[in-house]
Amino acid sequence: MSRETSVALRQTLLYQVYVRNHTREGSFKALIKDLDRIKALGTDVVYLLPIHPIGEEKRKGSLGSPYAIKDYYALNPELGTLDDFEHFIRETHARGMKVMMDIVFNHTSPDSILIKEHPEYFYRNNEGKFANRVGDWWDIVDLDYANNPGLQTYLIENLLYWQRLGVDGFRFDVASMLPLNFLEAMAKALKANDSNVLLLSESVHESFVRSIRNHGFACLSEGEIFQVFDMAYDYDTHVAFEAYLKGECSLKTYKDELLKQEAIYPANYVKLRQLENHDFGRIADKLNGNHRKLMHWHAFMFFNKGATMVFSGTEYSAMHHPSLFDKDTISREGKDLSLFISRLAQLVKDNRFSEGIFHLETEGDVMVGSYKLGNKEALGVFHFGEGKQTINVSFDDGEHVNHVTQETVVINDHRLTVSDEPIIIMKN
């Protein structure tokens, strides 16, 4: 992680948008009309999935994957014009939010502008054919950074182009597969123009790192990622999270994976906490529509140490995971959690959640989290199982305000009962 990264970024809420599917129109103009609602959630950064033209060769689905990019310098005309995009940036900034673009510098579409102009920039297999290092990504071809300084220059200049248009941050797709020297040069160039530019890594699962390395290719560890990026995806704990939801491991196993991060990453590390995104299915569906559990998981996601990301539709308890390759508009017909999310986002803006000493404990299916910063403390209790459970807590006896519901909860002999509502209490 950059030594300059501020732990205040742990208070950041990112809202992930796939412009094509966010509205019926699927355009920048339509997204502008939704910015006030997005802001009201507590959003700090509007993060857009790739907005470039999509390749036609080997296209997946009817409209293709936004990660099979044809031209890094252009916009997908389905979404709007450059003027529309610049208008979107201005309107987002006017509401006090930042704009983040998704950057895909590991690969392009097989019919990209770059492969036609600079075929030497691309990876070839043993047969001399353009190819990729991950077999099931058959709609793309990989870039080859080895002995290609011109490629690095081209890509950095591309980022500077979007930065000059007003883009505030960049999320790097499969950042672990990009060379560290390129990432370091990229970060230096961007931060020279804007020291507050936000760099987010989609670092990958540990099994992915091992697989890529076992095939003889380079893949960065999370420790290397944190030398450059301000924040990184939480995929190192994702396997345990999914396993717990499926009943394949205990909550303690997931808790232990989270606490491991406190020791193996820099002191100012920022993980991006998320229950779902464009790659992984809807949390409401995984919980079989269980509203009570959904509330507890959302509350824990915000309480957990790190920044938070909400995927478009999450706030409506959406069950359907939209297609990445077709027009599949986000559903807003589920139970509206917007006010709940907004309340959580505001609650964790307090600096005890970014600077305090963090700890987690479990009792059965209950996660108990705590922060301590001088005389300021916070206690969070989240029940992912069934029914009521009374647990031990290290907090003062007496009546306390549950800041999630504004109702009173009672701690008696250091025992607290949790059931339908998540609990977050604080003292100064």
Concatenate the DSSP letters of all residues of 286-349 into one string.
Answer: HTTT-HHHHHHHHHHHHHSSSEEEEETTGGGT--SPPPSSS--PPP--S---HHHHHHHHHHTT
Domain coverage including residue 117: 7-349
How do the pLDDT tens digits run along the chain, 428 residues long?
Answer: 456 899 999 999 999 999 999 999 999 999 999 999 999 999 999 999 999 999 999 999 999 999 999 999 999 999 999 999 999 999 999 999 999 999 999 999 999 999 999 999 999 998 999 998 887 788 999 999 998 999 999 999 999 999 999 999 999 999 999 999 999 999 999 999 999 999 999 988 899 999 999 989 999 999 999 999 999 999 999 999 999 999 999 999 999 999 999 999 999 999 999 999 999 999 999 999 999 999 999 999 999 999 999 999 999 999 999 999 999 999 998 999 999 999 999 999 999 999 999 999 999 999 999 999 999 999 999 999 999 999 999 999 999 999 999 999 999 999 999 999 999 999 98
Tokens describing residue 24 = 């019926």
Both 240 and 305 in a single domain?
yes
Q: Which of 320, 349, 378 is the last residue of a domain?
A: 349
Q: Are residues 237 and 383 in the same domain?
A: no
What angle separates helix 180-193 from helix 149-164, to the nearest 10 degrees? 30
For residues 390 and 295, state if they share a domain.
no
Same structural domain for residues 93 and 154?
yes
Burial of 147 (0-12, 13-18, 19+ CB in 10 A): exposed
| Among candidate residues 268, 244, 426, the one with its CA nearest the CA of residue 350 | 426
Residues in contact with 127: Cβ distance below 8 Å, sequence separation at least 6, in sequence order: none
> Do 238 and 373 have their domain in common?
no
Instruction: Please report, for the domain that includes residue 374, its CATH number.
Output: 2.60.40.1180
H helix runs in 194-304, sequence order = 206-214, 222-225, 238-245, 251-264, 283-286, 291-303
Torsions phi, psi of 99, nearest 5? -110, 130
The number of domains in the chain is 2
**Is position 358 within any domain?**
no
Residues 133 and 187 in one domain: yes
Secondary structure (DSSP) of 95-126: TT-EEEEEE--SEE-TT-HHHHH-GGGB-B-T
In this prediction, residue 81 carries a pLDDT of 98
